[in-house]
Structure 1
Amino acid sequence: MFPRLLLLTLLISGSIGCSFPETTPIKQWRHVEEGAYAADISADGTISVVSGINNGINVWRIGEETPLYQWSHQGEGNNLVISLHISADNTHVVTADREAFALWSIETGDPIGFWRIDEASIRDVAISNNGNGILVARSNGKVMFFEPKTQRRLEFLGHQEKVNSIDISPNGKFALTGGNDYIAYLWSTDTGQIIHTFTHPSRVTKVALDDKGRFAFTADSQDKSQVWNVQTGEAISGLSFIARQKIFTDAVFSDDGKYLLTGSPSRQVYLWDLKSGKEVDAWQVASRDTVSPPTAVVYGVGFMSDGNIVTESSSGLAEVWQRSK
């Protein structure tokens, strides 16, 4: 039985940004004043969307001083958006709090739809090109694929426990989901059929798909962080690190298929060689000084066209980093 979806009206507030060595960004912009709940960076590193603690959702063209749009997820009241995702073609954004998800147009800044879920809380969301498909992970282990234009809904019931992280292919045909049942699944959004099963020794905390359909990344809460061949389901490499555990908050593949870029809940950003799994570069974002001890969660990472790296974190800052190699 599908969860009840209620189509409501969106409100928009109108248009208007071991020891680890300290690193200095090339550029830095403040996108929210009091810190952020969530953020995402577009596949081409040009746009970021940030859910601020005290100023709603802001859409930024990276490098500009004022936001493109300022959105309100549920109208008046506190902003509680904890998950958001930009489509690979930079046309749409999906935002979600624990109870509802919304679809927005980047091209116009207008709201497209708002849907409330009355079964379990939302854990993560993802969106395909043109806003054609939305993936919603829930705390009861179910994942819903939803097509706003046709109202088609498909429930994926493969997970036995809470789903923590999801991603969707740009064409909306494939979903990657990982949960507390120690498993990540690659599955078809047309049929719900499982294509590949990726097993882990502990709960899966982060998954990511390569936008070009070559790779998948799955990571658990301990020490297994694996890059897979999407076509064959075979392992390509495991990330190599000394720490007994390493948690990831975002993961993005480079266009040339050589690198994986990851963010962490403890300020750290890493660049990995895809074939060997070895770390090739690292940075540390600015901390959020209003928390004790001062730290920051890296919510979004991205590759820029000039070869540099861009990040968004809970400190409310967008930062650009130079690659050393």
Structure 2
Amino acid sequence: MNKTVFFPFGCLFVLICAGCSVPETEPDTKLPISDSGVYAADISNSGDFAVISRVNADISVWSLAQNKTLFSWRHQEEGRNIVANIHISADESHVVTADNENFALWNKASGDPLGFWRIDESTIRDIAVSNQGRGILVGKANGNVMFFEPETGRSLEFLGHEEKVNTVDISPNGKYALTGSNDYKAYLWDTDSGQIVHVFNHANRVTKVAIDDEARFLFTSDSLDDSQIWDAQTGKAISQLHFIERQWVFTSARFSNDGKYLLTGSPAKRLALWNVQTGELIKEWRVAPSDGPAPQSAVVYGVGFLDNEVLSISSSGNLEYWAYK
């Protein structure tokens, strides 16, 4: 699941970890999908398609199997594309997209927009959508999180966070939300009542969260070195990701369908595969940067699994396939 990049964290990461040992790697396949680069991306659970916010262009629904655009979307009829958040529902039926002030729901099968909404009192930091587009989660800079049901118009405002919300995710059935904030906390909460189910405390700002689509695991990570996998039912820790760097910031995260792996993307071109039960790093790759003068980098926005490969889409505008089995 995908989603927002926080450039102050990413820039700090690059400065600190410029000398980190990241192996030179060559993907099985590399496909350029946006010459101008990418603002945001998400890859469907099946790996059949991706939704990409392209710099100086539009929002492209891209068939990975056919290597072509299925639909082109825009928030505005005119003007440049500024969509920085994208999320595909777990059942692949709907997509939600957002710029700083507006979010939109789309039907994946038809490509039709189902609604546009504006946030006036704050700016949008991250967004997520449940199966069939029944529930949309909007994390905001004022610390609030809105859960919204497009069909009924019902809206619930979660006020548990005390500072800016950085990252959100929603369970496929739309019943639970996982949110992380600058207040050093991540909450799992009930979207019917707003009641908090689990609290996950960190020593730094929480910058990435993810919910396993099978309701087995949760992932929370802060802006320094604390990245943990939790049991979604009990809230107990399963493992902590093991790495030697002083800081490792994550910009995308997804659990494999078999529950064995966590795949993460980061600033500075990093794509990594982790063992869910132990937190050990299994394999790491470095995605290709965009063409241009050095120094070059790429932020990994979208990650996904296929049978024997993992996928990545980065700000460089490249889609890459990597063997992991």
Q: Secondary structure at the match of 1:67?
A: strand
Displacement of 1:37 in angstroms is 0.5
Task: Note if contact 2:100-2:124 (Cα within 8 Å) is conserved in structure 1.
Answer: yes
Closer, same or farther: CA 244–152 of 1 in aligned 2, 3 Å = same
Residue number among 234, 237, 252 corresponding to 1:235 in the alignment = 237
Task: Note if contact 2:101-2:120 (Cα within 8 Å) is conserved in structure 1.
Answer: yes
- TM alignment of 1:273-288, pairs within 5 A: 273-288=275-290
Gaps of 5+ in 1: 1-17
2:37 is matched with 35
1:68 is matched with 70
Residue number among 261, 264, 270 corresponding to 1:262 in the alignment = 264
1:55 is matched with 57
Task: Note if contact 2:225-2:246 (Cα within 8 Å) is conserved in structure 1.
Answer: yes
2:321 is matched with 320
Distance, in Å, in 2 between the alignment partners of 1:291 and 1:268 is: 19
- TM alignment of 1:1-325, pairs within 5 A: 18-290=20-292, 292-304=294-306, 306-323=307-324, 325=325
Distance, in Å, in 2 between the alignment partners of 1:142 and 1:20 is: 37
Task: Note if contact 1:29-1:63 (Cα within 8 Å) is conserved in structure 2.
Answer: no
Which one-letter code corresponds to 1:139 in the other structure? Answer: A
Closer, same or farther: CA 228–251 of 1 in aligned 2, 3 Å = same
Which stretches of structure 1, 4 residues or more, deviate above 4 A after TM superposition?
none
Distance, in Å, in 2 between the alignment partners of 1:139 and 1:291 is: 34
CA offsets per residue over residues 164-222 of structure 1, 9 Å max, x none?
00000000000000000000000000000000000000000000000000100000001
For these two proteins, the number of residue pairs brought into alignment is 306
Distance, in Å, in 2 between the alignment partners of 1:44 and 1:144 is: 28
Displacement of 1:62 in angstroms is 0.8
Distance, in Å, in 1 between the alignment partners of 2:304 and 2:44 is: 7
- TM normalised by structure 1 equals 0.93
Give the superposed CA RMSD.
0.9
Displacement of 1:63 in angstroms is 3.3
Distance, in Å, in 2 between the alignment partners of 1:291 and 1:118 is: 40
Displacement of 1:24 in angstroms is 1.0
Task: Note if contact 1:289-1:295 (Cα within 8 Å) is conserved in structure 2.
Answer: no
Q: Secondary structure at the match of 1:95?
A: strand
Displacement of 1:44 in angstroms is 1.7
CA offsets per residue over residues 81-111 of structure 1, 9 Å max, x none?
0001000011110000001000011100111
Task: Note if contact 1:206-1:220 (Cα within 8 Å) is conserved in structure 2.
Answer: yes
Distance, in Å, in 2 between the alignment partners of 1:55 and 1:314 is: 14
Displacement of 1:292 in angstroms is 4.9
Q: Secondary structure at the match of 1:164?
A: strand
Closer, same or farther: CA 55–291 of 1 in aligned 2, 3 Å = farther
The sequence identity of aligned pairs, in percent, is 58
CA offsets per residue over residues 267-300 of structure 1, 9 Å max, x none?
1110001111000111111102347521100001
Gaps of 5+ in 2: 1-19
Distance, in Å, in 2 between the alignment partners of 1:137 and 1:186 is: 14
- TM normalised by structure 2 equals 0.93
Displacement of 1:64 in angstroms is 2.0
Distance, in Å, in 2 between the alignment partners of 1:140 and 1:245 is: 26
Distance, in Å, in 1 between the alignment partners of 2:21 and 2:160 is: 40
